[in-house]
Amino acid sequence: MSVQDVQDGRTAQGGRGARGEAGRGPGDPALDGAAAVGFAPDEVRTDEPTRSARLKWVVVVDEALPAGRAVNAAACVTAATAAGVTGLLGPDGTDAGGSRHPGLPWAGCSVLAAPAGRLREVRDRAAASLGVFVADMPVAAQTTRVYDEYLAAVAGSPPESLEYHAVSIVGPRNRVDKIVGRLPLLA
């Protein structure tokens, strides 16, 4: 994947666009609304509680994963989300000694747990929702060691056969709440 691909809105998530559908790309009308998920500069309100943000961000992780693999899955979908959602990160901070600390998600992020089957449902519901950004981590991401092998594994998998270790969702607060229901925090 080239820098130009990223600038053009293409993703490195197995051919998945902002809503997570395989085979969709820039210019696809189904992605036009989802590709614009993010905060405008005037919406970034670091002086207000996270609950006042228009968009909500959740990461849902397979509850059966061992701790190290769960953290890896959450970190990977979080990286994809931070790169794909405008205005998600707040400004950098500087400590009293002058050291810079890169901006963190100003609107917060909840990390939730779900059984593998429920994780699939959450991912599919989010991908079908307009105005919702989805970054997912198929199981192949943790079973391959070469990125091109991961891409090939995902490309060769029918969408209904893909299983996921984590899903990151950003969208309107009420819509995200309906998608994730009452899933518990990851323990």
Q: Tell me the mean pLDDT per 10 residues along the chain, length 187.
A: 34 36 37 68 95 97 98 98 96 98 96 96 96 97 97 96 97 97 96
- Sequence spans of domains, the chain: 3-180
Write the Ramachandran bin of 20: left for phi over 0, alpha for psi from -120 to 50, otherwise beta.
left
How far apart (Å, rounded) are the C-alpha atoms in residues 75 and 65? 14
Q: What is the pLDDT of residue 35?
A: 54
Q: Where are the alpha helices (DSSP H) in 147-186?
A: 147-155, 173-180
Q: What is the pLDDT of residue 21?
A: 38
- The pTM assigned to this predicted structure is 0.81
Fold of 3-180: Bit1 (3.40.1490)
